[in-house]
Amino acid sequence: MATLDFSELNGSPPGEAFEALVRLIGERLGLNVQWSGRGADGGRDLYFLETQSGTLGIRAVKWLVNCKDKSESNSAVLEKDLGSILDKLQQHKCDGFLLATSTTASTALKEKLDKLDIANGGSIQTKVWDRFELTKLLLSEQFSDLLVQFFPKQNARNAVQQIDAARERIETSLPRFVAGRVRSCLISHTDRFDCLSGARVWPHDVDQQNKIDTLRMFAVRSPGRRALDLLEETRFRCFHSLH
């Protein structure tokens, strides 16, 4: 299963954007979200207050949420990264422990959490939101706005894919001789980007090719002073050749 690129959340201070994302996910799921203070490991924890309904009654569960953003190193969360889970729960008077991570839990840590869980004879409830679970949540319609807010690059890639998919549907629904004419107006993002390569625009001058390729990158990123300088150095008759 493909997952989101959580390195998009990297910033200063480290892990803060990931914590904010997890908090908003909790709110969207209808949980009562509260911040805790800084933990012994220097990280900031969250409380999720949940009302669980059972056959014989309703129970309030207080979850201690520990956020671990390891997208930069892409390493798994280890037992030593969490310290004593039971001591933390006792300190914060919590009934459950939720690990939210941008990567995954190590095998040893997952086994430890499973043993602590009530379902396996333990004394608490445990849950892991790893990159796979978070990706599944964020790609659902319920969280589409969070995807736009926290993953702008992924959202842009999704938009391109939707455009390309729509183009393919249009082409397949038309007679072949009509589709051939329409196709020239429905060029995919990738093909359009390739059309502007220096080698295709102006194969006669390597220096101009390099400048055109650099300009092409500025066109899909953020223009700046360097882009203006390159425009002045580029012979516009190169682009006239495209007509």
Q: Which has more pLDDT, 144 or 196?
A: 144
Mean pLDDT score, 200-220: 75
Q: What is the pLDDT of residue 43?
A: 55
Range from 135-144, 167-176, 205-214 that averages highest in pLDDT: 135-144
Range from 7-11, 138-142, 231-235 that averages highest in pLDDT: 138-142
In contact, 99 and 82? CB cutoff 8 Å: yes
Cα angle for residues 144, 52, 94 (degrees, 5° grid) = 95
**Rounded Cα distance, 107 and 122, in Å:** 18
pLDDT band at 41 (very low <50, low <70, confident <90, very high): low
Nearest Cα residue to 242 out of 194, 188, 207, 182: 194
pLDDT band at 219 (very low <50, low <70, confident <90, very high): low
pLDDT band at 207 (very low <50, low <70, confident <90, very high): confident
Mean pLDDT score, 3-16: 84
Q: Kindly list the structural domains of the chain, giving each domain's residue range(s) and its CATH number in brackets, ordered by start.
A: 6-150 (3.40.1350.10), 154-240 (no CATH)
Mean pLDDT score, 39-54: 75
Q: What is the pLDDT of residue 183?
A: 65
Taking the CA atoms of the chain, what radius of gyration do you get in angstroms?
26
Beta-ladder partners of 128: 99
In contact, 212 and 202? CB cutoff 8 Å: yes
Sheet holding 58-68, edge to edge: 32-38, 44-53, 58-68, 96-101, 125-129
User: If you average pLDDT over every residue of the chain, what do you get?
Assistant: 82
**Rounded Cα distance, 104 and 100, in Å:** 9
